[in-house]
A and B are shown apart, each in its own frame.
Chain A
Amino acid sequence: MTVHSPKAKAADMDDKTDAPLLQVRNLRTEFDTHAGVLHAVDDVSFSVDPGQVLGVVGESGSGKSVTALSIMGLIARPGRVAAGSIELAGHGDLTTKTAAEMRKIRGDVISMIFQEPMTSLNPVFRIGWQIAEALQLHRDMGRKEAMEQATDLLARVGIASPEKRVREFPHQLSGGMRQRAMIAMAMACAPQLLLADEPTTALDVTVQAQILDLMVQMQHAEGAAVILITHDMGVIAEMAQKVAVMYAGVVVEEASVGEIFDTPLHPYTQGLLASIPRGNSRGQELQAIPGLVPNLLHLPTGCRFRERCPAAHGPCAKAEPPLKAMPHGHKVRCWLHNTEVPE
Chain B
Amino acid sequence: MSGQTSQIAAEGKAPEAEKGPARQSLLSRLAQNRLSLVGAFLVAVSIFMAISAPFLPLADPNAVNTSDRLADIGAPGHLLGADELGRDILSRLFWGARITLAVALAATAIAMTVGTIMGLVSGYFLGWADTVISRVVDVLMAFPYFLLALSVIAILGPGLLNGMLAVALVNVPFFARIVRGTTLSLRESDFVLAARGMGAGHTRILFRHILMNSVSTLIVATTLNIGWMITAAAALSFLGLGVQPPTSDWGTMLASGRQYLSAAPHTSLLPGLAIFFTVLGFNLLGDGLRDALDPRMREV
Contacts and interface: CB of A to CB of B under 8 A. Distances in A.
A108 B199 contact: yes
Contacts of B213: 122-124
Most chain-A Cβ atoms within 10 A of its Cβ — which of B15, B193, B200, B208? B193
A171 B15 CA distance: 12
A272 interface: no
A72 interface: yes
Interface in B1-26: 3-4, 6-7, 9, 11, 14-15, 18
Contact of A171 (B11, B189, B191, B199): B11
A107 interface: yes
A97 interface: no
Contacts, number: 81
A74 B193 contact: yes
B7 A120 contact: no
Given A77-B126, A134-B198, A171-B9, 4 more contacts: A105-B199, A106-B199, A107-B199, A114-B193
A114 B194 contact: yes
Contacts of A324: none
Interface in A101-118: 103-108, 111-112, 114, 116
B197 to A, nearest CB: 4
B273 interface: no
A133 B196 CA distance: 12
A105 B200 CA distance: 11
B132 interface: no
B239 interface: no
Contacts of A114: 190, 193-194, 197
Given A74-B193, A116-B190, A137 B212 contact: no
A80 interface: no
B195 interface: yes
B43 to A, nearest CB: 25
Interface string B240-273: 0000000000000000000000000000000000
Contact of B197 (A100, A112, A126, A171): A112
Q: Which 7 residue pairs of A and B lie closest in terms of their CB atoms, listed nearest first?
A: A107-B199, A124-B3, A107-B198, A119-B190, A106-B199, A122-B191, A112-B197
A124 B200 contact: no
A168 B197 CA distance: 22
A137 B190 CA distance: 19
B53 interface: no
B191 A121 contact: yes
Contacts of B4: 124
Interface string B172-204: 000000000000000001110111111111001
Interface string B187-231: 001110111111111001000110011010000000000000000
A327 B269 CA distance: 96
A188 B30 CA distance: 40
22 contacts: A74-B196, A103-B200, A105-B199, A106-B196, A107-B200, A114-B190, A114-B197, A119-B189, A119-B190, A120-B193, A121-B191, A122-B212, A123-B3, A123-B191, A124-B4, A124-B213, A125-B3, A169-B7, A171-B9, A172-B14, A182-B194, A185-B194
Size category of the A interface is 20 to 34
A169 B215 CA distance: 16
A133 B18 contact: no
Contacts of A107: 197-200
A138 interface: yes
Q: Dominant SS at the B interface? A: helix
Interface of B: 3-4, 6-7, 9, 11, 14-15, 18, 126, 189-191, 193-201, 204, 208-209, 212-213, 215
Contact of A120 (B126, B194, B201): B194
Given A103-B201, A138-B199, A167-B18, A125 B212 contact: yes
Contacts of A100: 201
A133 B3 contact: no
A64 to B, nearest CB: 16
Interface in A49-96: 72, 74, 77
Contacts of B212: 122, 124-125
Nearest to A171: B7
A115 to B, nearest CB: 8
Given A121-B191, A122-B209, A167-B18, A74 B197 contact: yes
Interface in A140-194: 167-169, 171-172, 182, 185
A104 B200 CA distance: 9
Contacts of A105: 199
B190 to A, nearest CB: 4
Contacts of A138: 199
A266 to B, nearest CB: 31
Contact of B198 (A106, A124, A126): A106
Nearest to B188: A76
Most chain-A Cβ atoms within 10 A of its Cβ — which of B4, B6, B7, B196? B196
Nearest to A108: B199
B199 A169 contact: no
Contacts of A104: 199
A220 B60 CA distance: 79
Contacts of A182: 194
Nearest to A73: B196
A187 to B, nearest CB: 12
A124 B192 CA distance: 12
A137 B3 contact: no
Contacts of B197: 72, 74, 106-107, 111-112, 114
